[in-house]
Amino acid sequence: MSRIYNFSAGPGVLPESVLQKVQAEMLDYRGNGMSVMEMSHRSKAFDDIIKKAEADLRKLMQIPENYKVLFLQGGASTQFAMVPLNLFRNKKADYVNTGSWSKKAMAEARRYGEVNMVASSEDQTFNYIPEITQEMFDSEADYVHITTNNTIYGTRFPSLPPVGDVPLVADMSSNIISQYYDVSKFGLIYAGAQKNIAPAGVTIVIIKDDLADSPLEITPTMLRYSTYIESDSLFNTPPCFAIYVAGLVFEWLLDQGGIKAIEKQNNEKAALLYNYLDQSALFESTVKGADRSIMNIPYVTGNSELDAKFIKEADDAGFKTLKGHRSVGGMRASIYNAMPVQGVKDLVAFMKDFENKNK
Ligand SMILES: *Cc1c(COP(=O)(O)O)cnc(C)c1O
């Protein structure tokens, strides 16, 4: 077996011990004589799996009683439409534009109502989080939408915007369970699981219960939150296997000491890379100051040929998928929860060596 260091932005690295457990339970899941993939979603065994996954996520994120946890399909991209379809009352919402995902979310919401872009960082290739004050928001808006962590550009909201009584909706796809958030500050949180939680196929939604009860009339059954609330996410066949792996990842994270412990480790991992980048004469971080993501770290040399050389040599040395998104160029190291500290240390050592050879 040879595992490499996977710096992919998504699907992302999963904890090795979780993969081993999945492997060990593949042919005979805990005496059931079959894998979770082959099992009825109405079985007792699967009911235990989904209930335990929800309970552990509630424990990890300290999710209050009046919030529902849903396991959906369609990825974060389906939430771009589900959010307005279910939350529009006055049919207008405020969006903060911090990157490609925010733009896609706005484009979907515009199909059903008025989208007010309150702030944007597009003027500088989204390399910062715009300054936001409460006066910018419309108190009549149905919600305010933000992307807490911008996977492509490597920015993160350093604090939550002051939205007053308007529900705050967050696309948390690339930093859910990587740091502590007070869930009661949000109306709705959603995340495609394939960045920090599980294989692709399951989307987590955490919704304050009073937001789910009046979807727009046109909303299809499958796109109503109430459908999944009423059926405990079992209206139709859910993504059983992905939910099972998500549950194992939640168990793993609880064993690591929970969100506070992983947040500390994530800060340390990010600091290792940023500290090196800030003193390097070759590499440079594309994001400055407090808006830096601790999950996705883009960096450049300023010379695209040298970037390509670095990516090639890093790949050969077992540091995989470091190529940056085409809209930023250069490199991007995604260092999700499951990326070991050693992986970041080894990457920094490799970068130092490359710098010495190429200055
Ligand atoms: C990856 C990502 C998405 C898209 O997720 P899908 O599950 O592929 O639809 C949306 N928002 C953010 C912030 C992402 O990182």
Q: What is the pLDDT of residues 261-289, one digit of tens each?
A: 999 999 999 999 999 999 999 999 999 89
* Burial (0-12, 13-18, 19+ Cβ within 10 Å), 191: buried
pLDDT (0 to 100) of residue 241: 98
Nearest alpha carbon, ligand 1 atom 7: 75
* Same-domain status, 151 and 227: yes
Q: Of ligand 1's atoms, which has the minimum distance to the CA of residue 174?
A: 15
Q: Could you tell me if 280 and 200 lie in one domain?
A: no
**pLDDT over 90 percentage in the chain:** 99
Mutate to test the pocket of ligand 1, among 174, 190, 202, 327 (most ligand atoms within 8 A of CB): 174
User: At residue 12, does pLDDT exceed 70?
Assistant: yes
Asked if the structure places residue 4 within a domain, the reply is: no
- Tell whether ligand 1 has an atom less than 6 A from the beta carbon of residue 12: no
113 ligand 1 Cβ < 6 A:
no
| Predicted TM-score (pTM) of this structure | 0.98
User: Any bridge partners for residue 6, and if so which?
Assistant: 320
Beta bridge partners of 235: none
Same domain for 221 and 273, yes or no, is no
69 closest CA partner among 57, 84, 81, 52: 57
Among 202, 230, 255, the domain-final residue is 255
Mean residue pLDDT of the chain comes to 97
Which residues are catalytic, by number? Answer: 101, 171, 195
Please tell me whether residues 68 and 167 are part of one structural domain: yes
Question: What does the pLDDT look like over 103-120, one tens digit per residue?
Answer: 999 999 999 999 999 999
Examine the domain organization and report whether 235 and 300 are in the same domain.
no
Averaged pLDDT, 160-178: 98
* Alpha carbon of 120 to ligand 1 centroid (Å): 19
The reply to whether 2 falls in a domain is no
Mutation to probe ligand 1, out of 146, 173, 204 (largest number of atoms < 8 A from CB): 173
How many domains would you assign to the chain? 2
- Same domain flag for 251 and 279: no
CATH number at residue 310: 3.90.1150.10
In a domain, 342, yes or no: yes
Statement to judge: residues 229 and 94 lie in one domain:
yes
Residues 152 and 199 reside in one and the same domain:
yes
Please check whether residue 317 lies inside any domain of the structure.
Answer: yes
pLDDT of residue 92: 98
What pLDDT score does 1 carry? Answer: 62
Pocket flag, ligand 1, residue 151 (CB < 6 Å): yes
Pocket flag, ligand 1, residue 77 (CB < 6 Å): yes
- Of residues 47 and 3, the one with the higher pLDDT is 47
Mean pLDDT throughout 238-265?
98
Instruction: State in Å, rounded, how far the first CA of the chain is from the last one.
Output: 35
The average pLDDT across 18-44 equals 98
Are 214 and 270 in the same domain?
Answer: no
Residue 212 has a CB neighbour count (10 Å cut-off) of: 21
- Cα(78) to ligand 1 centroid in Å equals 10
Q: Are residues 166 and 265 in the same domain?
A: no
Give the mean model confidence (pLDDT) for residues 240-251.
98
Determine, yes or no, domain membership for 322.
Answer: yes
For range 35-54, the mean pLDDT: 98
Contact 229, 212 (CB under 8 A): yes
Asked if residue 281 is part of any domain, the answer here is yes
Statement: residue 158 has pLDDT above 90? yes
Q: Which domain holds residue 26?
A: 16-255
Assign 2 a pLDDT band (cuts: 50, 70, 90): confident
Residue 89's CB is within 10 A of a number of other CB atoms, namely: 13
Compute the CA torsion angle 105, 111, 112, 118 (nearest 10 deg). 50
Is residue 306 located within the same domain as residue 162? no
Which of 208, 180, 203 has its CA nearest to residue 191?
Answer: 203
The answer to whether residue 110 sits within a structural domain is: yes
pLDDT for 126-157, tens place per residue? Answer: 999 999 999 999 999 999 999 999 999 999 99
Q: Provide mean pLDDT across the span 78-95.
A: 98
Alpha carbon nearest to ligand 1 atom 10, residue? 76
Residues 218 and 297 in one domain: no
